A and B are shown apart, each in its own frame.
Chain A
Amino acid sequence: GAGVSQTPSNKVTEKGKYVELRCDPISGHTALYWYRQSLGQGPEFLIYFQGTGAADDSGLPNDRFFAVRPEGSVSTLKIQRTERGDSAVYLCASSLGPKDGYTFGSGTRLTVV
């Protein structure tokens, strides 16, 4: 597609539930990044894929967070047993390669109630 697409744009879920957030990167972009932006903060790195593999998952806060990119294109960020502190905007970005500029999607606003 022309840009990075993230769905849903908004998600409200109850504490303890499981959620999946989807990211469709720009076609041909091999690098894909997930960031989280909490209120008043900058984007905080979560995980980076190069192709199908997670090249760096050092930003995932705990084992409730997991992400996949099985075919090297679409990625899904999965959060188990959601907590109120998980409420944030989850941003996805893609780039041609790790040293190229990032194009961000509009984000998914997750609210855990």
Chain B
Amino acid sequence: DQQVKQNSPSLSVQEGRISILNCDYTNSMFDYFLWYKKYPAEGPTFLISISSIKDKNEDGRFTVFLNKSAKHLSLHIVPSQPGDSAVYFCAVRNSGNTPLVFGKGTRLSVIA
């Protein structure tokens, strides 16, 4: 009964190309969506977020898209760089003061 699903455990992309990471959620009450990035032996670090009133948020090379009707969000990284190689977690929160719920993560490898 996972509330947040990242169905691709891993993704490999050539340097300079686009990386697309996907996330599906089950609860329409979720209203805030985040992406975190994690390097080995470090804690997750915040990357980008989007609220449910928007369908796109862009920050430099990173863009998050939200499709509320499909309960789907995606993270686009373009152009991908070797330093982007990490595990990416999707996280969601509802409108109350509830803690973030995380997906299982997708390991991105950017090949030079």
Q: CB within 8 Å of B: which residues of A?
A: 4, 33, 35, 40-45, 48, 50, 55-56, 59, 91, 93, 98-99, 101-107
Chain B minimum-CB-distance residue to A46: B99
Cross-chain contact of B43 among A40, A91, A98, A99 (Cβ < 8 A): A91
In the assembled complex, the CB of B52 is this many whole angstroms from the nearest CB of chain A, namely 14
**B95-112 vs A, Cβ < 8 Å mask (1 yes, 0 no):** 001111111110000000
**How far is it, in angstroms, between the C-alpha of A102 and the C-alpha of B34 when the chains are bound?**
11
The answer to whether B104 and A33 have CB atoms under 8 Å apart is no
Contact call B100/A45, Cβ cutoff below 8 A: yes
- Asked if B14 is an interface residue, CB under 8 A from chain A, the answer is no
Supply 13 A–B pairs (Cβ within 8 Å), ascending by A: A33-B100, A42-B4, A42-B6, A42-B102, A42-B104, A42-B105, A45-B100, A45-B101, A50-B97, A93-B43, A101-B49, A104-B43, A106-B42
Q: Are A105 and B97 in contact (CB under 8 A)?
A: no
**Smallest CB-CB separation from A3: which chain B residue?**
B43
Question: CB-defined interface of B45-64 with A at 8 Å, one 1/0 digit per residue?
Answer: 11001000000000000000
If A56-B99, A99-B97 touch, does A43 touch B46 (CB 8 Å cutoff)? no
- Indicate if the CB atoms of B99 and A106 lie closer than 8 Å: no
Kindly state the separation between the CA atoms of A93 and B6 in the bound complex, as whole angstroms. 22
Beyond the given pairs A43-B89, A44-B102, A93-B43, 16 more chain A to chain B contacts, judged by CB atoms under 8 angstroms and listed by A's residue number, are: A4-B43, A33-B99, A42-B89, A42-B103, A42-B105, A43-B102, A45-B100, A91-B43, A98-B98, A99-B97, A101-B49, A103-B46, A104-B45, A105-B43, A106-B42, A107-B43
A36 vs B12: C-alpha distance in the bound complex, in angstroms? Answer: 27
Residues of B within 8 A of A35 (CB): 102
Instruction: Give every chain B residue within 8 A of A91 (Cβ-Cβ).
Output: 43-44
Contact residues in A for B98 (Cβ distance below 8 Å): 56, 98
Q: Which residues does chain A contribute within 8 Å of B102, judged by CB atoms?
A: 35, 42-44
Known A42-B89, A43-B44, A93-B43; contact A102-B97, beta-carbon cutoff 8 A: no
